[in-house]
Amino acid sequence: MYNLYTLKNGLRIVTEYIEHVNSVSVGVMVQNGSRNEKPEVNGISHFIEHMFFKGTDKRTAKEIVGDIENVGGQINAFTSKDATCYYVKALNTHLDLSLDVLSDMILHSKFDPEEIEKEKGVVIEEINMSEDTPEDVLDDLHSKAIFGENSLARPILGTIDKVKSFNREKIVDFIYNHYTPHNSVLSICGKFDEKELNYLIEKYFSKWESSKIYVPEYDTPILLNDSKYAEKKIEQLHIDLGLKGLPYAHEKGYALVLLNNIFGGGASSILFQKVREELGLCYTVYSYPQPYKGVGVFNIYTSLSKQYADKALSVIDRELKLFANGGISKELLDINKEKIKASYILGLESTASRMFANAKCVMLQNKIKTQEDVINRINNINNDDIEYVLEECFKPGIISTAYVGQKVDYKKLNTIVNNSKEAYDNSSKIAKIKI
């Protein structure tokens, strides 16, 4: 059972009651991430995520996590390009404590200058760790290739120089402008007493006030036809190929999910069977959509020995063209409807997953997307939807590339996919107009 309402201070509340569990997941999701940052403070959203765990007026950093972990619960947070989320999962008997700790963090953190300086070292090490991870380097690199100067191209962690420049004044000012009840959602999923829950929400979150109403607005992204390369002393070559995707909540979004499942979404997919199983060129190859508000990207990833890169890119490009122009049979359509329904339903067995999904839907669409809604949308995918996505996303082909490896002639590799990039540039013109 779902419930959606708004407190007087503008904070949106979404709850989902589940009778058969004995746990509850509580999360505060704020529509603020690296996409909301100006270049001079890139990375501050992620840094603030860390700082909310560093002590409040009534709890030390150790007590924040200890109060939850001592009752067997879990407390954590994450920052993405468009959101930051702070969450607790615990037994439903500890709902009061969960809301108390989260509200204390959000509303009463001290941002002690000494703790800020210590945490800079922690985040810098996180950046160093990311720089040692080829997949992370590749993801940031490809974002720059396809988004250029748009804020979606900026790394979530920021840079070491930017992190060193953060101070209490910058942090408090950013929170004042970007952390308001109006761009935040409190999401609760699990077993609870509704009357008690309403009382606790009022108790802990009604005092969250802000004189500023912040409604995020983003520059309209332009998808660029570009390529990036990073030299790394590693054994494999990591490749990311970018196609046009669909934005978050697009009406044809489930058709893209279905087509991705067939093309590169699992061990039975075209990419896996052709590139790995039949030719043995790699261990890992897959595709995945990246939907954002207003724009989407569709990615193809593989990592392999650079001596096989030419062959792998040729096969991927060939299979992409065959798939885009060949369409799918009714049998394949029906099979993959069942696959993505099963994947969705299995994911819902976690109260945390449901809490996150509800929060994001309310945050970006201001509505609840029920399980029945999703299943109906999947069941109603038809040939027109499939043709639309093939035309919009697959037929234009590869429009951007990124490579991470050692002593790689990436310009030579790009010649293999240049026909796709030229077709995108000359026929659809998507790279030169606003999405």
- Per-residue confidence (pLDDT) for residue 212, from 0 to 100: 81
Average pLDDT over residues 264-283: 97
What does the pLDDT read at residue 420? 55
State the residue for tokens 């509303």: 107
- Region 370-389: mean pLDDT is 96
Burial of residue 30 (number of CB atoms within 10 Å: 0-12, 13-18, 19+): buried
Predicted pLDDT at 92: 97
Answer whether residue 379 shows pLDDT above 80. Answer: yes
Dist CA 81 CA 341 (whole Å): 27
CA-based nearest residue to 78, from 120, 45, 39, 123: 45
DSSP classification of residue 327: -
Cβ–Cβ under 8 Å, residues 323 and 394: yes
pLDDT in tens, 143-188: 999 999 999 999 999 999 999 999 999 999 999 999 999 999 999 9
pLDDT of residue 433: 26
Which burial class, exposed, middle or buried, applies to 250 when counting CB atoms under 10 A from its CB (0-12, 13-18, 19+)?
Answer: middle
Q: In the predicted model, is pLDDT for residue 409 greater than 60?
A: yes
In the block, residue with structure tokens 């978050």: 248
Domains of the chain, CATH where assigned = 2-205 (3.30.830.10), 227-432 (3.30.830.10)
As a whole number, mean pLDDT of residues 387-410 equals 97
CB 301 within 8 A of CB 240: yes
Q: Which of 49, 115, 119, 319 is catalytic?
A: 49
Q: What is the mean pLDDT of the chain?
A: 94
Quote the pLDDT of residue 342.
94
For residue 248, name the pLDDT band (cuts at 50, 70, 90): very high
CA atoms within 13 A on the CB side of 63: 12
What percentage of the chain has pLDDT greater than the value 90?
A: 91
Q: How far apart are CA 16 and CA 31, in angstroms?
A: 21
**Average of per-residue pLDDT across 4-28:** 97
Say what the pLDDT of residue 211 is: 82
Instruction: Provide the pLDDT for residue 424.
Output: 47
Q: For 182-228, what is each residue's pLDDT tens digit?
A: 999 999 999 999 999 999 999 999 999 988 888 898 888 899 999 99
Collapsed DSSP state (helix, strand, coil) of residue 42: coil
Task: Assess contact for 4 and 12: CB atoms under 8 A.
Answer: yes
Give CA–CA dist 400/414, Å, rounded. Answer: 9
Two tokens, residue 423: 């077709």
49 is a catalytic site residue: yes
Average pLDDT over residues 9-26: 97
